[in-house]
Amino acid sequence: MPSNELVLGINVTEDAEILQGQAEVHKTIFAYIDSLVLRSAVELRIADIIYSHGQAMSLSQIALKIDSPSLDIMCLERVMRMLVRKKIFTAHCNEQPSGETLTLYGLTTTSKWLLHDQELSLAPTILTFTDLSITKPAYEISRSIKEGGIPFVKAHGESIWEMASNHPEFNSMFNSGMAAITRTVIDAVIKGYKDGFSKLEGSLVDIGGGTGKLVANIVKEYPHLKGINFDLSHVVENAPLHYGVTHVGGDMFKEIPSANNIILKNVLHNWTDEDCLKILKNCQKAVSEKKGKVIIVEVILRPERHEMFDDTAIALDILMMTNTIRGKERTEDEWMKLLKEAAFTSFNIIPLQSIFSIIEATS
């Protein structure tokens, strides 16, 4: 219990805490505004406009570069005020020869992640994960808790993988959002596991590899490895060709191509423990003869820790709950239990400069 301080009969500490609680609720109620204002900055290409200009810009200079005959500059100013407060852009007052002051908006290390058409960009990820198709299932959380069922299916009448298969536009948006995250993680994976990759032999198959970007970059850095990108047929059919990588379409629940080593990034968190066991047993079967490694790139949930990515990891767990078929983020203990059940005998966790870690498993 907090110690209460009475000043003129008012319980100051308790009142301050109650007010603080109110402020926290307000902040959480309007947290969606943060995401959607960020989305608007990406849609309006504000970071790209300032980047192309090469220096900080005034509001009217930014407005002139936005392709619209009827731009509402007052709304743009309010959006910029919020984005500056979030440290997504900087704002500096500049004194003009006329004596007037002009605000100039510049980039920060955060806004550089909003740039389009860059190798390292989170712009497609922002557009994907703030899209109505992805956010709508969250409105079904309480109904799913009461009645059971998958929020995504309640919202859309089909699972996320069915939607990807049935709707090419959704498929392309989802894959590009995922590929953009993957590109930001590739460097961390290659640097963080460099001793591991250099010791691997033969082939490396990326299970659920999406467009194949991860395995393509690994084999580029380690050309002694033969790369295979394995995913559902409709995904690999639309994936670009990568030097040193063969695309293979199929279902990981049925059979995984035989390989010396396997990598799985952001695949197991989409599935239940039972489904993960089926996938991991298929992986085990595919590599066991060759005594290869299974390299899992995933979040390790640390509910008690409060470091840079820990809040996001908890949010991702809820996203897995709403948008996948009972997928989840897992703690270290949960990962170890799952891998032991899949008959792996040795494990090693390698933290990366990223929200993800590597869990290396051998049998």
Ligand X SMILES: C[S@@+](CC[C@H](N)C(=O)[O-])C[C@H]1O[C@@H](n2cnc3c(N)ncnc32)[C@H](O)[C@@H]1O
Which residue ranges make up the site for ligand X (CB under 6 A)? 161, 178-179, 182, 208-210, 231-232, 235, 251-253, 265-267, 270
Q: Which residues are catalytic?
A: 269
Which of helix, strand or coil describes residue 222?
Answer: coil
Give the number of C-alpha atoms closer than 13 A to the C-alpha of residue 125, restricted to the C-beta side: 16
Q: How many CB atoms lie within 10 A of CB 198?
A: 11
CB of 284 to ligand X, least distance (A): 16
Q: Which one-letter DSSP state was computed for residue 283?
A: H
* Residue 342 tokens, joined: 């899949």
CB of 192 to ligand X, least distance (A): 15
Q: Which is nearer to ligand X, 83 or 181 (CB)?
A: 181
CB of 79 to ligand X, least distance (A): 30
Q: Which is nearer to ligand X, 179 or 355 (CB)?
A: 179
Q: Which is nearer to ligand X, 11 or 238 (CB)?
A: 238
Residue nearest to ligand X (CB): 208
CB of 127 to ligand X, least distance (A): 16
* Residue 336 tokens, joined: 């170890």
Q: Which is nearer to ligand X, 47 or 267 (CB)?
A: 267
- Do the Cβ atoms of 174 and 164 come closer than 8 Å? yes
Q: Which one-letter DSSP state was computed for residue 203?
A: E
Q: How many CB atoms lie within 10 A of CB 202?
A: 13
DSSP character string of 229-269: EEE-HHHHHTSPP-TTEEEEE--TTT-----SEEEEES-GG
